[in-house]
Amino acid sequence: MSLLKVENISYSVLVKDETKKQFDILKNVSFEVENGEILGICGESGGGKSTLAKVIAGLIKPDNGKIILNSKLNNKKSSPIQILFQNHGEVLNPFRKISSVIDEVLVINRIDKKYIEKERENILNSVGFPKGLYNRRGFQLSGGEQQRAALARLLATNPVLLILDEPFSAQDVESQLKLVKLFKALNTEFKITIICISHDLRILKNLANRVIILKDGEIVESGLTKEVFNNPKEKYTKFLLSAEALNLTYEQIQNTSKL
């Protein structure tokens, strides 16, 4: 059953230079997210991936279109859609310890006081955040630790849909692999539906059940991950795959804009 319906989303901005042209970031984007799946959204920089994430999370109001969350599947008390931003370090309040950042969310969610400590530990445990760092503040953590703390804070809100915006960038393979395993565990154990935005096809191949390929604000291809990546139908998908394998010729790179 579909958890979320994205219908004909369009979004544009005015270019700031003297031309004042209208620039379409998203053009008539429609798709559905099935309950319990991991959906990958990939494409190059500037394709509209992050904007789409913000529209789904309700942070940007689109010019046109609707985002419909299946209310039957959303029986949770609090904010059903959460987004893990690219700049995860900046979302942690620098004045607060990680423990209090998590507690705050739990208090807002009316978790009984006696259970808060246990709940906090459960959540931080589930993302693999080390116990010794509970009393640190955001800026005293490494990038990877910040990301886990930010993720824990999102989980404390008890979401049904988690949007991850480029969660793997600037990490080495070993940390990336740990994250992939963590996201799969969140998906299976906590039954959280996940939309993962990434330009890294290699990781999406492993993580996502279904993928959507976005180019210049339009969906060019979508389907089961295996099918899209093993039998790409569109030129652009083929281009992305050979680009990922570092097999492009100079002519192919030059011609990307014409695809």
Residue matched to tokens 């991950």: 225
169 burial level (CB within 10 Å; 0-12, 13-18, 19+): exposed
Nearer to other proteins, 75 or 257 (CB): 257
For position 188 contacting other proteins by CB under 8 A, the verdict is yes
Quick note: the x/- pattern for other proteins over 76-115, rule CB under 8 A, is ----------------------------------------
75 is a contact residue toward other proteins (CB under 8 A): no
Residue 226 interacting with other proteins (CB under 8 A): yes
**Binding flag, residue 60, other proteins (CB under 8 A):** no
CA 252 to chain centre: 29
CA pseudo-torsion sign 86, 229, 227, 181: negative
Question: In angstroms, what CA-CA distances link 120 with 155, 175, 178?
Answer: 10, 23, 21
Binding-site member from 5, 27, 97, 202 for other proteins (CB under 8 A)? 202
Q: Using CB under 8 A, pick the residue from 73, 91, 182, 248 that binds other proteins.
A: 248
Can you tell me which of 49, 148, 153, 205 binds other proteins, judged by CB under 8 A? 205
Cα-based distances in Å from 2 to 35, 37, 77, 258: 5, 10, 20, 35
User: Could you say which residues in the range 148-177 bind other proteins, by CB under 8 A?
Assistant: 169-177
For the chain, percent helix, then strand, then coil, each to nearest 5? 40, 25, 35
Binding site for other proteins (CB under 8 A): 44-45, 142-144, 169-177, 180, 184, 188, 199, 202-203, 205-207, 225-226, 229, 240, 243-244, 246-248, 250, 253-254, 256
